[in-house]
Amino acid sequence: LGMIVHNETARRQLHEAHGDRPVRHIPLLVDQFPTDNYRARLNLPADAFVFAAVGQLNRHKQIAWSLTQFAAVRQDHPEAHFLLVGEALPGEIDLPGLIRQLGLDGAVHHIDYVPAATDFLNWTAAADVLVALRQPTLGETSAAALNGMAAARPLIVFDQGWYSELPATVALKLPPMDEVAFQDCLRHCLTHRPQLAAMGEAALAYVRREHRPETIARQYLDFCARMLA
């Protein structure tokens, strides 16, 4: 009868491919928020700055690429740390070997698969900025990125797909796989903490406004009623 997708990019793609069917963009539901901040569990210095990538660690999230650029930046910024939360898929990334190769022992902190949603969100809150890179993108809406926004954390994203739809007030957008732009962005974050705090508050406000359960439920009901009328 009709199709529901979670972002405007996917809606346009489906409309072009199936123009004879109704396609509705309804945002992904966000109904859980952190109850704590697990940063203290990392035992970091008071001046530490934490970048983080969360969710299943696979090749599409460009973890190896991100850590390579991070290693270059950290030479001048020893206060920088990188938190990884999620299972590293076997055969796709050798995380211990990569950390040794890049000389990042003590700078990269890996929390393996976290089964409880509350704990996952609380680990997400331990970051200062969420690195939510995906290349290629398949048109997905990132639940991990929305979790970061729900934790009042700004994002670093590639400027494509759904990520391009995010307002500049909540996300720093980069050309995909641009090493110089990513390194410059990391350095900018390390020297502009007040700006990032303001972006984090804007991210939380955006999620509460655009991804509210009541609003989304109403949109589902309206669309289903139209399809069944």
Q: pLDDT digit string (tens) for 184-222?
A: 999 999 999 999 999 999 999 999 999 999 999 999 999
Q: What is the pLDDT of residues 122-135, one digit of tens each?
A: 999 999 999 999 99
Cα gap 18→193, rounded to integer Å: 45
What one-letter code names the amino acid at 203? Answer: A
On whether both 203 and 116 belong to a single domain, the answer is yes
Residues 133 and 161 in one domain: yes
pLDDT in tens, 14-71: 989 888 889 999 999 999 999 999 999 999 999 999 999 999 999 999 999 999 999 9
Which run of H or of E encompasses 51?
Answer: strand 49-54
**Cα–Cα dist 97/56, whole Å:** 18
pTM listed for this prediction: 0.95
Same domain for 25 and 56, yes or no, is no
**132 and 176 part of one domain:** yes
What CATH number does the domain containing 103 carry?
3.40.50.2000
**Domain count within the chain:** 2
Whether residue 229 is found in the same domain as residue 162 = no
The answer to whether residues 6 and 86 belong to one domain is no
10 and 72 in a common domain: no
Q: Is 20 exposed, middle or buried (0-12, 13-18, 19+ CB in 10 A)?
A: exposed
Same domain, 103 and 145: yes
Same domain, 170 and 145: yes
Domain range enclosing 11: 1-29+211-229
Residues 23 and 60 in one domain: no
Question: Quick one: how many helices (H) and strands (E) in the chain?
Answer: 9, 8
Do 120 and 142 reside in the same domain of the chain?
Answer: yes
Q: Are 78 and 188 within one domain?
A: yes
- What number of residues does the chain have? 229
